Amino acid sequence: MSSTKRVRISGIVLGLAGVVALGLSVASAHVTVWPRESTVGAFERYTVRVPTERAVPTVKVEVEMPPGVTFSKLAPKPGWSYEIRKDAAGRVTAIAWSGGALGPDEFDEFLFQARNPREAGRIAWRALQTYADGSVVEWTGPEGSERPASVTEVKAAPAPAATDHPEPAGTVTVQPSAATPPTTSPDVVGIALPVSLAALLLAAGTLVFSLATARRTG
């Protein structure tokens, strides 16, 4: 292979690698909520991961609570203040962090706890990212769009594992008592003792009578 062809192939490979790296960097720049999977009805610890992808700092982040998700608590974030927004019924609808700054090439994470819906499904976390120049990026689109909302799949809890030797239906397991009662009741013992003594005396009397009879006949 000539050196010219090698140079061309190397250039193509490097170009493809650059495109892949660019795609990965753009994808990773989205505002995302983790974990991506959770369990129905669970109190989950969610993490909002916010990267700055512009030349000016991120100064505010707002995340909406999806329908069916019940906000519980959040973790304080040093350098940032927060606002918890509610509807007329008192349900928390969004959390907004502000007052801090994430410079270019920086990212940070914001933590909160919430209870998942009681039914399985996919929940979308709509988020707004505000920059120091006043521009707002809306991460509210569908999956695959340029600015998608982060999605968590809520699954049903796994069924309990079956035992290796299941007991037949209707089997009743009785646990032994700590104090095992005697096998013979006290009343039976009280009756058996005099009977045994009488039998011993009768045998002794029979022996004495036999000896006396033997002496007379002798």
Inside any domain, residue 67: yes
Inside any domain, residue 144: yes
Residue carrying the six token digits 């061309």 = 8
Inside any domain, residue 82: yes
Inside any domain, residue 57: yes
Phi and psi at residue 187, to the nearest 5°: -65, -40
Inside any domain, residue 55: yes
Q: Write out the two tokens for 28.
A: 């990773």
User: Has this prediction a pTM greater than 0.75?
Assistant: no
Inside any domain, residue 169: no
> Mind listing the pLDDT tens digit of every residue in the chain (218 residues)?
555 555 454 444 444 444 333 333 334 479 999 999 999 999 999 999 999 999 999 999 999 999 999 999 999 999 999 999 999 999 999 999 999 999 999 999 999 999 999 999 999 999 999 999 999 999 999 999 999 999 999 999 887 776 665 555 554 444 444 444 444 444 444 444 454 555 556 666 666 566 666 566 65
Q: Starting at the edge strand that comes first in sequence, how are the strands of the sheet with 107-115 ordered?
A: 32-34, 43-51, 107-115, 70-74
Among 135, 122, 129, which residue's Cα sits nearest to residue 106? 129
Inside any domain, residue 194: no
Inside any domain, residue 176: no
Residue 138: which domain range?
27-154
CATH of residue 82: 2.60.40.2230
Split into its structural domains, the chain has a count of 1
